[in-house]
Structure 1
């Protein structure tokens, strides 16, 4: 019941840039999820270098460039995650990322939720609720981080950048002022730069926190891992 309740909370948050967003296609509510997506993000990426760094000092620009380089160098990773919603409910699972644009979050039992992206569309599949919702990856904040050519100074509105001890903190939001959702990244600098967690905040100010555990490089992840198939849909009725 816990997992079902979490799944019903809302694809009013299609993926995590807010557990309270709305799918542009059918206005269905979506569960809180780790990625942050939905109609609150503009679908077009600004190609102009509207932010050239004037708002930041040299140190801040260096930090932004380090984070940009980290995502550009990322190829395949895997690990575990702990997702904490605004009401302090926790779900755990395993995740896989394969650049560009592909990821998969498998939630641990009793949840039967799977969230994945094939690089173009993100699918939110709940095997308990027997639902399958889709949204374009371009409607999620992770489009800025999992592109072939990541350039955060060019494509994102950067709200905050700082270094706290050995942690880089970087907060981003969509350039469209009508889309107030945001994502804050936390990256450890030692021994090597590594994404440790992120927090997505919706238009109502509700946070979803995702902490990563046992992150490691993956080797030749099967592309089929990131694609919903007819076999998956058949299982919904079993």
Structure 2
């Protein structure tokens, strides 16, 4: 995992995608970074029907691509509870807030000491325990796909797998500039259309799954949710 320092720094795109899946304390940190990058389901966790009647990616119609793009573009605000599971042993849960374009916040429940905030410019991973923020260019993360002002599943990314059942739509994406760096699978329910899960698979096969519950859209959110201010301990404390 990329070492998190006390001083802010920007991670390269390839570093972010390849940093998931280390052991011990880094497992949760890796999974936390992965929560911002895609939707999907591990077979052992799946809360949606498995893709028994799958279609291959060469059957993805332009109409379906546009349907997904239009749905994502139509999200103004979203809140949800989430559960995060990593195939190498990490687990956490918390609350997601999103405001398009560009803003997202993951609040992890204790004992996790992690906060993720996309401010509209930066994507910030904050380890509260050691007071160490890491700054990432949001345009260089897969989160930028969902949070972009102009949603596109064909511009900087490529659909490499498409599976549709009676109840779900799953699309797997890789970046055109670095297809070997890992993939992101977005999972939607179709009736009604709703973002349900995501899975990030790193180059070694480690998977991080985020499942959304109690999803609500279109509410007004406090602008303070998408601001980040580092908390410094007071002298003498």
TM range (shorter): 0.7 to 0.9
SS in 1 for 2:31: coil
2:195 aligned residue: 195
Q: Structure 2 CA distance, aligned partners of 1:215 and 1:16?
A: 27
Given that 1:81 and 1:95 are in contact with CA atoms closer than 8 Å, whether structure 2 keeps it comes out as: yes
Residue number in structure 1 paired with 2:26: none
In 2, are the aligned partners of 1:19 and 1:206 still within 8 Å (CA)? no
After superposition, give the CA deviation of every residue in 1:21-49 in whole Å (9 maximum; x if it has no partner): 9xxxxxxxx53220149xxxxxxxxxxxx
Kept in 2: contact 1:60–1:162 (CA 8 A) = no
Are the aligned partners of 2:156 and 2:177 in contact in 1 as well (CA < 8 Å)? no
TM-score by length of 1: 0.75
Task: Tell me the matched-pair count.
Answer: 202
CA distance in 2, matches of 1:182, 1:84: 16
Map 1:164-203; keep pairs closer than 5 Å.
164-177=165-178, 179-190=180-191, 192-203=192-203
User: Alpha-carbon deviation of 1:200?
Assistant: 0.5
Q: In 2, Cα distance between the equivalents of 1:79 and 1:155? A: 27
- Secondary structure of the residue that 1:154 maps to in structure 2? coil
Q: Return the alpha-carbon distance in structure 1 between the equivalents of residues 233 and 197 of structure 2.
A: 32
- 2:30 maps to 31
| Contact 1:64/1:170 (<8 A) preserved | no
1:146 is the counterpart of 2:147 = yes
1:205: how far off? 1.9
The alignment status of 1:234 with 2:217, answered yes or no, reads no
Change (3 A) 1:76 1:175: same
Which of structures 1 and 2 has the larger relative contact order (alpha carbons within 8 angstroms, sep 6+)?
2
SS, match of residue 187 in structure 2: strand
Q: Which runs of 5+ in 2 are unaligned?
A: 5-10, 22-28, 39-56
Structure 2 Cα separation of the partners of residues 73 and 236 of structure 1: 44
Secondary structure of 2:95's match?
strand
Structure 1 residue 197, shift from structure 2 partner: 0.3
Q: 1:166 to 1:18 in 2, by over 3 A?
A: farther
Segments ≥4 residues shifted beyond 6 Å: 8-16
TM-score by structure 2 length?
A: 0.75
Per the alignment, residue 126 of structure 2 pairs with 125
- Kindly state the Cα deviation for residue 9 of structure 1 after the two structures are TM-superposed: 8.6
SS of the aligned residue for 2:66 comes to helix
Assess, with a 3 A threshold, how the Cα gap between structure 1 residues 110 and 236 changes in structure 2: closer, same or farther: farther
CA distance in 2, matches of 1:236, 1:83: 33
